[in-house]
Structure 1
């Protein structure tokens, strides 16, 4: 069994999040050792409460590992009072309700700061905390569309295409975690907390990076180019005798090395292909020349041959192949953990490595309210008081 990370062991985090963006943020903190208390409504107290699939399913296990669970009805006066008592000793609160919900519950930043001026509130929303779309429900695919990702994804003649992963959800959670770390560092000097905000829409626009800057700086509107790179050629997917290969010729030097490898050194001097600008102009023609050559051999052959001459290339995996890859295994991206109901299983490890205080997956996701008695006991409640709260469905 892995040991709990010590990197953030002094932090207490109250996790009010649901679905994906917020849990992704809190997972980072939990994996690095913070005491993350996942707060969720008792059965029947919040019909709109969202979970990520089955309680013991892959998504819940992956998003909520390393956390403790407390059931608490924030709509009940007693529940809100208990929550604010917990805020007194907390470092961070994370929520991804619609922006107006925390105001209605009386747990907005101003409410939390009154009881603990050092607390940091991280709020993740679909479109931001203010503005004309603030109260809209936000989902990953909607943000992918409005943030420009779907407009540059897919083949040019097939219309917009969503990415195959929850890009906006996950990135907004990661940006929120970055904001929390910045606020914690600033608090060390000022002694005061602050309100950290991120949204799916902002995160998706930020992830567009060079495509967004291309428009802002040059006024160019990027279009979808399928698997081809927007402006570098040949960089894209080419069929092989047994599948596909990602080929990444990123410079004229690499192009020259490729031409020599495939026995076409004259192409490196041909005015139509000698420079990237020329290759880009003749891209369809160039792929037409390369495809029959790559179809003569396997993906593995080409990966090895291209590595020898310093030309970037790689296979295109299905998920089972991803975790069978020796480099992925070396990086230990599948973290083993024991679950009471499922037994030994594996979850996705943190991709950030620290030399002294690495992240760890040391305990599986909790059942709802699994730690309620212990958490409330630490808060000073007696067994009788806890039992009375449970009887009233406050916990």
Structure 2
């Protein structure tokens, strides 16, 4: 149940059937849940979502243990255990399909068809259903059957080839960025599909992949190759096309300085005892050509003082800069707390827990943590009870084939 008195989010009334697992799909459906959608997460009987066993860290409870990884992407959902291969579950499953506005899955291509949940079958059951498929390498093509995990796609999608210090080893991003990006593009696709349905009255298939998301992230680096024929390499903590823009060392730690245009350069250079119109550094192109010399001069000046004093002077001069922070410093930052970027909620077995909050804020509609990530199968009886309570003609009380516009509910929140 939603918490008493909680206002309805912008996606209130939208029903999401989540067949996904691990990260890309669950991240997508978590965002929809944050926005107010009613998300039912289907988990297999043999332990559920893979990430329930990913750790440490695990938090021990009298009932077992909870994985921090699972908790990170599964709030605002109800967990229901169903064996998708069990014929005895077919009526229940089809009822949920009829109830849903959106279905999300990240099986390999062909698995949904083997479960008799292919596009034709889903469209027959619910013509208004928006069906999101997230795969590793795409729906079709010579590598469509490959299993796609985040690190593999960071490698094969080219992101690792541009991440790391020059002359050193290439590295992956510190979060599962391929999964996250696919999940975000999945949300965009779902929202576009729901808007299109308002006019057409019909749902449709939407698909994306971890590979596609990585290509989308290339932005200017991709254009460097496709337009200019340059193959980007490792640029480390310095921007490859803007200078100075990167990480620099002060007396007691690291800071990032971003000189994004010539006006900022004019204000910044005197702070580090450099003549702005020095013929080596007078334009961005010249600064890039003389990066080593420029960085040596900057390092010599910056190392004389601590980060805090530099940030004060840089701010006074209108030069964008920031401290390099650890996560403990981030989550204790007053700005982060004031922006409601840390959410808390009572978990069934862990008590009150904190999680990273949503980055979205609306003028009227709330975005909130309505309920904590579920324990395995926590809502199975609840949802089955709602289904059973609707009687023999449950399908008519959920969503009939002719009803493709306004959402209906199994229950009222």
What residue in structure 2 maps to residue 196 of structure 1? 206
Q: Secondary structure at the match of 1:121?
A: strand
Which residue does the alignment assign to 1:58? 68
Distance in structure 2 (CA, Å) of the matches to 1:165 and 1:335: 20
Q: Distance in 2 between matches of 1:378 and 1:246?
A: 54
Aligned to 2:257: 247
**2:349, 2:281 → 1: CA distance?**
59
1:112 counterpart = 2:115 = no
CA distance, structure 1, for counterparts of residue 69 and residue 239 of structure 2: 32
| Cα separation, partners in 2 of 1:79 and 1:381, compared to 1, 3 Å | farther
CA distance in 1, matches of 2:209, 2:390: 40
Residue 42 of structure 1 corresponds to which residue in structure 2?
A: 45
- Aligned partner of 1:360 in structure 2 is 368
Structure 1 Cα separation of the partners of residues 77 and 313 of structure 2: 46
Alpha-carbon distance in structure 1 between the residues aligned to 2:306 and 2:346: 39
Whether the 8 Å contact between 1:258 and 1:311 is mirrored in structure 2 is yes
Q: Which of 262, 268, 274 pairs up with 1:258?
A: 268
Alignment of 1:320 onto 2:328? yes
In the other structure, the counterpart of 1:387 is none
CA shift, 1:174, in A, is 0.7
Provide the C-alpha distance between the structure 1 equivalents of 2:107 and 2:168, rounded to a whole number of angstroms. 35
Is the contact between residue 99 and residue 134 of structure 1 (CA under 8 Å) also seen in structure 2? yes
Does residue 29 (structure 1) correspond to residue 32 (structure 2)? The answer is: yes
Q: Which residue, 221, 225, 229 being the options, matches 1:219?
A: 229
- Are 1:6 and 2:4 an aligned pair? no
Corresponding residue number in structure 2 for 1:183? 193
Do the aligned partners of 1:124 and 1:172 also contact (CA within 8 Å) in 2? yes
**DSSP-derived class of the 2:213 partner:** helix
1:122 lines up with 2:132 in the alignment: yes
2:300 — aligned with what? 292
The residue number in structure 1 matching 2:142 is 132
> How far apart, CA to CA, are the structure 2 residues paired with 1:382 and 1:321?
50
Dislocated runs of 4+, deviation >3 Å: none
Q: Is 1:332 equivalent to 2:340 in the alignment?
A: yes
- Contact 1:232/1:276 (8 A) holds in 2: yes
Q: 1:5 to 1:321 in 2, by over 3 A?
A: farther
**5+ long unaligned stretches in structure 1:** 384-395
Whether the 8 Å contact between 1:246 and 1:315 is mirrored in structure 2 is yes
Unpaired segments of 5 or more residues in structure 2? 59-64, 392-413
Shift of residue 64 of structure 1?
1.0
> 2:176 maps to which residue?
166
Aligned to 1:63, the other structure's residue is in SS state coil
Distance 1:306 1:171 in 2: 33
Q: 1:289 to 1:337 in 2, by over 3 A?
A: same
* TM-score calculated relative to the size of structure 2: 0.88
When structure 1 is superposed on structure 2, of 156-165 and 372-381 the one drifting more is 372-381
1:342 corresponds to 2:342: no
Separation in 1, partners of 2:390, 2:38: 22
Write the distance in 1 (CA, Å) between the matches of 2:206 and 2:249: 46
Q: CA deviation at 1:184?
A: 0.1
Contact 1:73 1:80 in 2 (8 A): no
SS of corresponding position for 2:148? coil
Q: Pick the aligned partner of 2:166 from 156, 163, 173.
A: 156
Match of 1:310 in 2: 318
Aligned residue for 1:364, secondary structure, equals: coil
The counterpart of 1:67, out of the listed 77, 85, 101, is: 77
**8 Å contact from structure 1 (residues 299, 315) kept in 2:** yes
Q: Is structure 2 residue 240 aligned with structure 1 residue 230?
A: yes
Paired with 1:58 and 1:299, the residues of 2 have a C-alpha distance of 33
Q: Shift of residue 358 of structure 1? A: 2.5
Q: How many residue pairs are counted as aligned between the two chains?
A: 378
Q: Give the aligned CA root-mean-square deviation in angstroms.
A: 1.7
2:80 is paired with a residue of what secondary structure? strand
Among 218, 223, 229, the residue aligned to 1:208: 218
Alignment partners' CA distance in 1, 2:349 and 2:13: 30
- 2:291 counterpart (283, 288, 292): 283
Provide the C-alpha distance between the structure 1 equivalents of 2:7 and 2:159, rounded to a whole number of angstroms.
Answer: 37
TM-score normalized by the length of structure 1: 0.92
